[in-house]
Homo-oligomer: A and B are copies of this chain.
Amino acid sequence: MQVAEASTPSDPRIKRTRAALCSALLSLLEEQPFDQITIRDIAVRAEIGYATFFRNYASKAAVLHDLAADQIRRLIELAFPAIEGRNGRAAALALCTYVDEHRRLWTALLTGGAAGIVREEFIRQGARVKTMSSRRAWLPLELANIVGVSATVEILAWWLQRGLGLAVEEIARVLDQLVISPFVKPRG
């Protein structure tokens, strides 16, 4: 396992291969849970050789990581402006709307075996969104981030697993009141 996961490989073949692998995993995730997807499945779907998989990723979790990092980045970038503007409700709504529009994918990402890895990446990226609350000395920032992100993930997962019983606006309100407002904009 000496995979060089350099973020920007010069060789276009490598870029192409990795993109194909991510795309293949994404495609498979919409059909079956992460645990049931084998590396061979991914390789076949991506139309690359089985061994080539390992030349690019150490495990299927690594592909998921790449994939999740990308999706989460988009999600955060989407919600960021509203958070900056201290409009928690708008941020929650934007976030939920985006998730709703990619229901299959996010269901796969937030439930089943993939959840752990996605949550981890979520926390990593969530750390970048600095909360403005500096008053709660008893609450370590890192822990606040973890709890906030976990709550978000749980809320979304719960929502996604329950089909379409709850409107986007409703879940966005829950998300805002339970997570975003308390953490991001505690003083209003």
Contacts and interface: CB of A to CB of B under 8 A. Distances in A.
Contacts of A147: 151, 154-155, 178
Interface in A119-162: 138-139, 142-143, 146-147, 150-151, 154-155, 158
A154 B158 contact: no
Interface stretch (A12-20, A63-71, A92-100, A169-177): A169-177
Interface residues of A, number: 18
A151 B155 CA distance: 12
Contacts of A170: 138
A174 B147 CA distance: 11
Contacts of A49: none
Instruction: Find the residue from A116, A139, A146, A150 having the highest chain B CB count within 10 A.
Output: A150
A178 B151 CA distance: 12
A115 interface: yes
Given A147-B178, A150-B151, A150-B154, 4 more contacts: A116-B116, A139-B174, A143-B154, A150-B150
Interface of A: 115-116, 138-139, 142-143, 146-147, 150-151, 154-155, 158, 170, 173-174, 177-178
10 contacts: A138-B170, A138-B174, A138-B177, A139-B177, A139-B178, A143-B158, A146-B154, A147-B154, A147-B178, A150-B150
